[in-house]
Amino acid sequence: MHIVKIIQESVINVLEKLYHQPFHATDFQINQTKAEFEGDYTVVLFSLLKKTKLAPAKLGEDIGQALLVSQPQIYASCNIINGFLNFTIADEFWLDYLTKNSSIAKPGKQEANGKKVMVEYASPNTNKPLHLGHLRNIFLGWSIAEILKYSGYQVLKGCIVNDRGIHICKSMIAWQKFANGATPQSTGIKGDHFVGEYYVKFNDEYKKQVNEGLAKGLDKETAEKNAPILLEAQDMLLQWEAGDTEVKTLWNKMNGWVYEGFDVTYKKLGSDFDRMYYESNTYLLGKEIVQQGINKNVFFKKEDGSVWIDLEKEGLGEKLVLRKDGTSVYITQDIGLAQQRYDEEKIDRCIYVIGDEQNYHMKVLQEIAKHMGLPYADDIYHLSYGMVELPGGRMKSREGTVVDADDIIDEMENVARTKTEELGKVKDFTTAELENLYHIIGVGALKFFLLRVDPKKKMIFNPEESIDFHGFTGPFIQFNHARIKSILRKNEIDETVKPSGSFLPLEKELVVLLERFGTTVAQANEEMNPAALAIYIYQLSKTFSSFYNEHSIACAETTEKKQLRLMLSRATANTIKAGMNLLGIDVPERM
């Protein structure tokens, strides 16, 4: 049981004995004691004053003295300052905690809770490779899924692939016009990159044709709408929807190239999925639900035959759900897919990892589900995140200014190689071991940098900054883990020697932090925020680094002290590894 829970139950027990009335955990708060005050944990008394009819000083004294007398093995001392009761936890408690938990590989891992969750992330288009923007999405989704698993949930990782539409047809038309039969195999270009080049070629030709139209005296809107290559792409989309064999064959071939490329990138990133959905299979879903909604007067038809929902009262305006020709729009597809997932998987919650530019869309999706009385309406959760930019600003796929995920991985591995060689500590590594190490450091730095920022915030990605071995980075944490593993290889822990005595300040700080891992995972789960975990792991690594620089482990003052420090080291390594793994990051044994 976490110390916060122990304090909570202790305080409730004392309150009920002293004041003869029921008390609950929601009646008061427990916080970490602020650095400027003496103590480890603080009970905030103000919310209890009305119920107990006591002054803060008297209430604090009553609770504090009762706990010091009844549980001296937990509470060493207390002080009361302006309505805050600060407790110092006894060394005996921390020694017991360390003895019981030092060897646990996955501290704080929860038992299965019987609840099933799907996390949907990635959602790529099949007309271009994965890029930097996708990476934040993928890392967030994968990490949240793992945090949920650690917290006891059964988790399905889902992906909806946007494999149809005008943007796909643009790449197809450009390939027909400019490729001369070239393929990824004949050119040696990775499939998703190969198709992405033709999406850029389409845009180049489109701009050229628009300029030609303007030169002939057409106004801008007419020139843009009537560019021949755009009309060809629109015609191809109609042929696709009509099931044209030749178009479908080309579509399957080019999508196949992209999927092969995606698979290589996902493998490099260590990302995976349990369920794959394809827009080409789902875009008609939801039409039946819309018809049911029309019958229930949830939706209404306009004079042109298009179908809408009125969400003015919710501040969302009117939203189109079926076009006048009866074809579905994205929101129709999404409501249908949500129903399909619920029917097939019986999930308790679906978490959509989607950028904040889709906040409106996701609000509408949930409101439609609520208006329709669908059973999963309250279980839709939008994990909204801010865009990732480069120091030079936003990226644009159609203009070819996007930084591809594969290029970023390569660059990160190269930076890792340079930084590692500068340290000069890997001369005994084989070539294969070095290449694996550079990959672990490079991808780890990338993931940590993108996950250490609260998802709601926009961010700027800087490769050099992300791989610093001395800052708030993945490599700093990886280095500390490798250092601990080196210590443990050279010094064996004697399990028969029980650590005893008192903690020195940095020893105490370290064990207190270690005990907070479980509550930090719970916080990351509750807030859907891996950054809380990233910040914690960095703080733990930084504290260990200070502890290591201050105190000798191998040459400790006594055998008991050496065992204490080795146990602290082992627990720290296990916690770093468990935490980094929840972020999708490997930690090397040597570096």
Do β-strands 84-89 and 75-81 pair in parallel, antiparallel, or remain unpaired? antiparallel
What does DSSP assign to residue 472? Answer: S
Of the listed ranges 278-282, 299-303, 422-426, 482-486, the one predicted with least confidence: 422-426
Strand order in the sheet with 116-120: 275-278, 154-161, 116-120, 349-355, 380-385
Report pLDDT for 359: 97
Does 467 or 202 have the greater pLDDT score? 202
| Nearest partner of 193 among 270, 139, 266, 131, judged by Cα | 131
Q: How far does CA 555 lie from the centroid of its chain?
A: 41
pLDDT tens per residue across span 340-389: 999 999 999 999 999 999 999 999 999 999 999 999 999 999 999 999 88
Average pLDDT over residues 43-66: 95
Does 395 have pLDDT greater than 70?
no
The pLDDT mean for the chain works out to 94
Look up the CATH architecture of domain 3-89. 2-Layer Sandwich (3.30)
Report pLDDT for 416: 92
Query: For residues 420 and 412, what is the distance between their CA atoms, to the nearest angstrom?
Result: 12
pLDDT tens per residue across span 131-152: 988 999 999 999 999 999 999 9
Does 64 have pLDDT greater than 90?
yes
pLDDT tens per residue across span 319-332: 999 999 888 899 99
Q: What is the pTM of this model?
A: 0.93
The percentage of the chain sitting over the pLDDT mark of 90, rounded to a whole number, equals: 88
| Helix orientation angle between 559-582 and 91-101, rounded to the nearest 10 degrees | 60
Average pLDDT over residues 456-476: 87
pLDDT tens per residue across span 203-236: 999 999 999 999 999 999 999 999 999 999 999 9
What does DSSP assign to residue 571? Answer: H
Does 392 have pLDDT greater than 70?
no
Does 396 have pLDDT greater than 60?
no
Contact call for residues 274 and 206 (beta carbons, < 8 A): no
The secondary structure of 489-540 as a DSSP string is HHS---TTS---SPPPHHHHHHHHHHHTHHHHHHHHHHHT-HHHHHHHHHHH
pLDDT band at 421 (very low <50, low <70, confident <90, very high): confident
- Enumerate the domain spans of the chain: 3-89, 165-252
Contact call for residues 538 and 477 (beta carbons, < 8 A): yes
pLDDT tens per residue across span 261-318: 999 999 999 999 999 999 999 988 999 999 999 999 999 999 999 999 999 999 999 9
Report pLDDT for 175: 98
Report pLDDT for 328: 85
